[in-house]
Structure 1
Amino acid sequence: MKNGLISRFRIVFIFGIKNIIFQCFTKKYCIMYPELNNLIEYLKESRILIAGFGREGVSTLRFLKQFVPDAQITIGDKQEIILPEEFAGMELQKLSGEGYLGDPDNFDLMIKTPGISLKEVSEKWAKSDKLSSQTGLLLRFFEHKVIGITGTKGKSTTATLIHHLLVSNGRNALLAGNIGLPFFDELPNAEKKTIVAELSSHQLETVYHSPSIAVLLNVFPEHLDHYQDFRAYARAKWNIGLYQKWGGRMFIPVEWIGHNWIDYQKQCSGQITGFGAINNEITFDFNKNHFSECIDLSKLPLQGAHNLSNISAAIGAVIEAGLELQDAIKALYSFKPLPHRLEFIREVYRVKYINDSISTIPQSAIAALKAYPATDTIILGGFNRGIDYSELIDFLSKSDVLNLVLMGEVGKLIGELMGKIRTRIKLYFVDSMQDAVAVASRNTREGRVCMLSPAAASYDKYINFEYRGDDFRKCVEAL
């Protein structure tokens, strides 16, 4: 009888302040800690709708299966729902097709995935207090452990750099969110770790808590198909700091302070700190104490003024987390940049080929050209999302660029706009990356640069910007 009871129930052993939970069926254990336990208590016995069943939706179901077995789970997705083998035998409901988000009266909580636009969420759901997400729950229960980073451009590089600076100085840290694994996959092992969280606007749009250390790098028009207007998109970004508690710190571009987004700055309860970069000097202000340091860019794999600004934000964040300035700067020089971000591919016949496939807006292409002023040829174009390209056209007309290799609908648009001005720049229209690289190789002078920096989304030809960048690399390596 005793053995039968042991085989049927979870046994909880208490050692000091830690609970070790041993699950007899799975032979798995997890060291519980207060924040994780509070999240589990909040979710237990709830009627939960997982909205969207991609990578993050699967992660949410896995977490609930392991830690909240008494939850009543429904999966909602517009597409057909196919459960991975690990969930075979689970009791759950499925909603698919047009009514996949269900009625909020039937649920206690919706855990929305980032791919579900708020435009798809009914007014009844939106006005309820039942709408959340992995990010919302992370910041509600773990905010003091989180360094959050967002921005239209630079967030992956900056988040990865912050993680590198911490780990290089002996700190326990994990990198998750929009980069790395979903948060719920990492939480069981996050007890003594700082969570470096890259956060997209889609992840931030449903949060009502902010990380104790928040970084907002920049805000440019992007993802406007997902939002009502640019201000709604910007508001989602600002959520990273709007709900900070007293004692938190939010880093924003130093030029914004007192000038840009004043209404949002006034709403922040945390301390706002400016970061920035001029020439080779990074700068930030902590409570009117000014720090500045000269960085030797020749020793860094990161190029461009925009990356110097990213470095400033990263160093400010880790100083707030307890690192010394000189220790952070020393670790900079061992950082390895992410692919597809001003990535040097190779040099062929004294022409350097640079992969900046991450560029999906005009401002990022401008930043890339500023980082490599010796660019003769730039490959531009892709999927048209209705973005204004006048700033890029103006910049190109005053630059030393000689050749535009143009692809997709945006390529055609840029060609039309360039045709309206007097310029010596030559235009080449192509249908494939192979043709683009071939044209570029024939027309780029020795000692100069050929760059892929499309200033447009990739969805007309590729699954994502990584596939586009990989195609560029393959074509360059074949030269």
Structure 2
Amino acid sequence: MKDKLLKILDRKKILILGFGKEGQSSYRIIRQIIPESQIVIADKNKGAFSLDGFQNTPACKMISGEKYLEGLGKYDLIIKSPGIPSHLFPKDIAQKKITSQTELFLQLYSKQVIGVTGTKGKSTTSSLIYHILSTSFDDVVLVGNIGVPPFEVLEGIHDETKIVFEMSAHQLENISVSPRFAVLLNIFQEHLDHFKTYDAYQYAKFNILRFQKDGDYLVYNTDNPVVCGGVKNGEVCQDQIPLSLVHHKGIGVFGTADGEVLVNLSNEKQTVDFTKRKQLPGKHNLMNIMAAVAICRKLQVSLEIITRAIFDFKGLPHRLEYIGKYKGVYFYNDSIATIPEAVIEAVKTLKDVDTLILGGKDRGIDYSGLVDFLLNGKVRNIVFIGKAGDRILAEIKETKEILGFNCFRIKRFQEIGDIVLQNTEPGKICLLSPAASSYDMFSSFEERGGAFKKIAENL
């Protein structure tokens, strides 16, 4: 590993751009491989350098503040953190000098990588694939958007290591190498504050398959119009496994309305009954299961082992997570739901939602479909918060004067508790499924979900 990375990095003037978790791991690995090299680190946030062991030295220069992007042309290689938008850079810099941990990692290990992306479902699917593979193989790692920078596992990777990589659009944005196994679950409007246009966001997502070659594999959701259109119109690898909850013909992995999965691959045709699963409810999770089944069968894991592992899987927090019953009300935390499609699926899955909490940071996505769903739905109480909440509420009132449900506009997240107690019917559900980012009030969707749990537990 060190020799391969040394060839890429040696004798280059390197800038690490962004000094969060991924930037810090980049620094540690580069310093380990090339101890004498000068590394420059730049981050807009001055507080990023307040960590022990990092200080300005002849071998490590630090730049912070509003001018952190100045002078990029003097570097040979810029290792960019995912959260920094590429549109901030001149075109010649972006094309010739910018790379990332994801790109460097794929240059080294693409043949061992199972890459998973999608606007929604990628964390669950990545974790599920990792869980299944770990029951059959001794050497499996899970990296990427799940919270582990890929460089963190470099030293433990061997020729037989299977690498499950959850890939966000931000991580895919600058790559020129695709993983051998690519899973594309869905594409919806999201992250328009970063990509500026929906087309740019889609382009980044399709990088997961854009550079695949003969001998690579693509698993994709044919029910999602954007994914299906992109695969049909693009140059993609020959080995494809389509997934569908609608069509059940030909080679692929298919799901039925009641929760059965039909595995129809070149050498087998079997049906697995997942109707009694509890931890992964809903059609969206059935699609996640189908993707995991497709990948793990390609890797020669038996269907019996796959099925057992799926039923053993506990699910991830903040994803239709049941918190508990408090004051007669059932509480569910779906803080990860930052797009309208996820909210609609959550309400359909749970069925008895009486109070729904919507809103957060407004990133400019289209809420018209969610508005129509709510106006024609059975949710009796809707709580709106943040600028996204304001826009959804305004669109609802513009569409219909007399509403069949109660609307509550709150300024503080903590106000949710009183509204739930006073308005939610006992025996019904209160659901946090915001259809918006958490970054107006919280540092992450996890923090928002945690705050919601505390409100429920303290009623």
The alpha-carbon distance between structure 1 residues 428 and 123, as it changes in their structure 2 partners (threshold 3 A), is same
Closer, same or farther: CA 185–149 of 1 in aligned 2, 3 Å: same
- 1:347 Cα offset (Å): 1.0
CA–CA distance in 2 between the matches of 1:112 and 1:159?
Answer: 24
Equivalent pair of 2:416/2:455 in contact (CA under 8 Å):
no
- The separation in 1 between residues aligned to 2:433 and 2:240, in whole angstroms, is 33
What is the CA–CA distance in structure 2 between the aligned matches of 1:229 and 1:105, rounded to whole Å? 26
Cα RMSD, aligned residues only: 2.2
Q: Which residue of 1 aligns with 2:249?
A: none
Say whether residues 1:433 and 2:400 are aligned partners: no
Pairs within 5 Å for 1:460-471: 460-471=440-451
- Residues 358 and 284 of structure 1: is their aligned pair in 2 closer, same or farther, counting only changes over 3 Å? same
- What does residue 330 of structure 1 align with? 308
The aligned counterpart of 1:319 is 297
Q: Give the partner amino acid of 2:29.
A: F
Q: Measure, in 1, the Cα distance between the counterparts of 2:230 and 2:187.
A: 14
The alignment status of 1:189 with 2:156, answered yes or no, reads yes
Q: What is residue 31 of structure 1 aligned with on the other side?
A: none
Match for 2:20 among 54, 57, 73? Answer: 54
- The normalised TM-score by structure 2 is 0.90
Q: Which runs of 5+ in 2 are unaligned?
A: 245-254
Q: Assess, with a 3 A threshold, how the Cα gap between structure 1 residues 432 and 110 changes in structure 2: closer, same or farther.
A: same
Question: Aligned to 1:206, what secondary structure does the other structure show?
Answer: coil
**Is 2:75 aligned against 1:121?**
no
Q: Which amino acid aligns with 1:296?
A: F
267-276 vs 178-187, greater mean Cα deviation: 267-276
Name the residue aligned to 2:237.
269
Larger radius of gyration, structure 1 or 2? 1
Counterpart residue identity of residue 132, structure 1: T
- Measured after TM superposition, the shift of residue 189 of structure 1 is 0.8
Q: Among 396, 417, 427, which residue is 1:447 paired with? A: 427
Letter in 2 for 1:341: R
Aligned to 1:424: 404
Corresponding residue of 1:238: 206
Alignment equivalent of 2:121, drawn from 124, 135, 154: 154
In 2, distance between residues paired with 1:227 and 1:388?
A: 15
1:478 aligns with 2:445: no
Q: Distance in 1 between matches of 2:71 and 2:263?
A: 48
Paired AA for residue 164 in structure 2: V
TM-superposed CA distance for 1:466, in Å, is 1.1
2:53 corresponds, among 70, 77, 86, to 86
TM superposition score normalised by structure 1:
0.87
1:282 partnered with 2:261: yes
How many corresponding residue pairs?
Answer: 443
Q: Indicate if the aligned counterparts of 1:275 and 1:285 stay in contact, CA closer than 8 A.
A: no
Kept in 1, the 8 Å contact 2:220–2:227? The answer is no
How does 1:408-423 map onto structure 2 within 5 Å?
A: 408-419=386-397, 420-421=399-400, 422-423=402-403
Matched, 1:376 2:354: yes
SS in 2 for 1:136: helix
Instruction: Provide Cα deviations, 1:49-107, integer angstroms capped at 9, x if missing partner.
Output: 11111111110000011122243322122233626333566712333345434545532
C-alpha separation in 1, matches of 2:345 and 2:71: 46
Within the candidate set 102, 110, 124, 1:135 is matched to: 102
Could you tell me whether the CA contact under 8 Å between 2:73 and 2:93 is conserved in 1?
no
Distance 2:265 2:34 in 1: 42
Gaps of 5+ in 1: 1-34
Q: Secondary structure at the match of 2:276?
A: helix
- Contact 1:433 / 1:475 at 8 angstroms: preserved in 2? no
Cα distance, 1:278 vs structure 2: 2.7
Deviation sequence 1:127-167 (CA, Å, 0-9, x none): 32x22100001111100111111111111111111111111
C-alpha separation in 2, matches of 1:83 and 1:379: 36
The secondary structure found in structure 2 opposite 1:226 is: helix
- The residue that corresponds to 1:19 in the other structure is none
